[in-house]
Amino acid sequence: MTAPLILSDQGDVAVFETVRDLERYVESPDIAAYSVFDTSGRRYFFKGCQDTSRDNAIFQGVNSAELDQENPGHIAQDELAAILRSYIRRVERCDPTETLSLQQLVQKTIDLCGYTK
> Tell me: the pLDDT tens digits for 33-44?
899 999 999 999
- In 3D, which of 70, 100, 72, 68 has the Cα closest to residue 85? 100
Mean pLDDT, the chain, integer? 87
For the chain, helix (H) and strand (E) counts, in that order, are 3, 6
At 52 the pLDDT is 44
* 94-117 pLDDT per residue, tens: 776 778 999 999 999 999 999 998
Element (H, E) at 36: strand 34-38
